């Protein structure tokens, strides 16, 4: 049988303790490990050489006021300043050997979601549930890289607006084909469970554009909703970004910026649902986040 104990540190002892030690792996194998708080001059030089900020900063400084204003306008769609969005975007380009500087867009920023279908498949369907309560992963305030599971209570209050930015290059493979982004709202009315549809029909061929749809009123008590992307009897690619599920003056869509639409949570975050779970995903179909080029 394992034995454990504890000691109470004074304020002075705590300062000395946390200067040299830190907690590691809070969830699976909790332990104490060395805290690397002092960086040698040699290590500082290596880190500086590896940092992309000097390169990105030089590119930013070389821009005109008009160009920086365009980045600021694009950043507003994802909650970032123009500088932070440019750092995020340009760092990805440098790390992946993509030359040049991107042109900022109000339709998509940095990574976007991609739904792809090729033979023998001609269908894909993914879902994002929004029950009354669920867990999300939030950054711990004051920490650089620590996250914790947080319980969210989402009480649906109409009107509900769904929307997105998207680009499509799809080809129909038969009659009845469609591409849709929609919400299914569940409500109780006169003793019955009723599902109500709020949908956006997506064009098969289009450059980046935005689309929205709003549901303002329903009889009964609405309890939850689910968001879906469903491509049926088509092949090609659908690119998505800036997902919206707005009610109560808040956008409740998870991973609305499509940074990792196929993310899987593990370890202590096992109770967090995937941003988008596959309902129909035959061989030849896949979805992930990509950098648009």
pLDDT in tens, 258-293: 999 999 887 778 888 999 999 999 999 999 999 998
Q: What pLDDT is recorded for position 144?
A: 67
Q: What pLDDT is recorded for position 105?
A: 94
What is the CA angle 28-34-37, rounded to 5?
A: 125
Tokens representing 48 are 């500086």
Q: What pLDDT is recorded for position 140?
A: 78
Q: What pLDDT is recorded for position 282?
A: 97
For residues 188 and 221, what is the distance between their CA atoms, to the nearest angstrom? 5
Tell how many helices (H) and how many strands (E) occur in the chain.
Answer: 5, 15
Confirm if 258 and 275 have CB atoms less than 8 A apart.
no
| Residue 274: other Cβ atoms inside 10 A | 18
SS3 label, residue 147:
strand
Helix (H) or strand (E) holding 73: helix 65-75
Whether residue 47 is predicted with pLDDT greater than 70 in this model: the reply is: no
Confirm if 46 and 77 have CB atoms less than 8 A apart.
no
Q: What DSSP string describes 34-70? A: E------HHHHHHHHHH-SHHHHHHHHHTS-HHHHHH
Domain boundaries, the chain: 53-106, 113-290
Whether residue 7 is predicted with pLDDT greater than 80 in this model: the reply is: no
Whether residue 1 is predicted with pLDDT greater than 60 in this model: the reply is: no
Q: Which CATH class is domain 113-290?
A: mainly beta
Confirm if 242 and 165 have CB atoms less than 8 A apart.
yes
Of the candidates 292, 94, 101, 87, which has an alpha carbon nearest to the alpha carbon of residue 208?
Answer: 292
Of the candidates 4, 6, 5, 9, which has an alpha carbon nearest to the alpha carbon of residue 20?
Answer: 9
- Going by pLDDT thresholds of 50, 70 and 90, the confidence category of residue 3 is low
Beta pairing partners, 187: 194, 222
Whether residue 227 is predicted with pLDDT greater than 90 in this model: the reply is: yes
- For residues 15 and 79, which has the higher predicted lDDT (pLDDT)? 79
| Residue 86: other Cβ atoms inside 10 A | 26
Whether residue 9 is predicted with pLDDT greater than 80 in this model: the reply is: no
Whether residue 42 is predicted with pLDDT greater than 90 in this model: the reply is: no
Q: What pLDDT is recorded for position 258?
A: 96
């Amino acid at each position: 049988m394992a034995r454990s104990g504890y000691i109470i540190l004074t304020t002075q002892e705590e300062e000395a303790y946390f200067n040299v030690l830190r907690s590691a792996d809070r969830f699976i194998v909790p332990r104490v490990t060395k805290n690397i708080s002092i960086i040698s001059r040699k290590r500082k030089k290596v880190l500086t050489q590896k940092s992309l900020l000097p390169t990105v900063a030089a590119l930013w400084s070389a821009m005109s006021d008009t160009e920086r204003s365009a980045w600021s306008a694009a950043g507003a769609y994802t909650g970032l300043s123009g500088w932070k969005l440019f750092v995020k975007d340009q760092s990805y380009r440098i790390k992946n050997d993509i030359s040049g500087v991107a042109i900022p867009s109000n339709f998509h920023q940095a990574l976007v979601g991609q739904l792809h279908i090729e033979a023998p498949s001609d269908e894909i369907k993914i879902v994002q549930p929004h029950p009354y309560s669920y867990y999300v992963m939030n950054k711990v305030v004051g920490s650089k890289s620590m996250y914790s599971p947080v319980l969210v209570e989402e009480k649906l209050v109409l009107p509900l607006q769904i929307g997105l930015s998207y680009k499509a290059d799809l080809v129909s493979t038969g009659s009845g084909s469609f591409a849709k982004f929609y919400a299914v709202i569940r409500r109780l009315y006169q003793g019955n469970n009723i599902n109500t549809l709020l949908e956006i029909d997506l064009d098969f061929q289009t450059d980046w554009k935005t689309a929205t749809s709003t549901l303002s009123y329903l009889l009964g008590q609405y309890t939850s909703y689910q968001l879906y992307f469903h491509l049926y009897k088509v092949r090609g690619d659908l690119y998505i970004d800036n997902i919206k599920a707005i009610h109560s003056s808040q956008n409740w869509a998870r991973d609305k910026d499509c940074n990792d639409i196929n993310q899987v949570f593990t370890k202590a975050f096992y109770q967090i649902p995937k941003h988008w779970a596959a309902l129909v995903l035959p061989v030849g179909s896949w979805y992930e986040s990509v950098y648009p080029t």
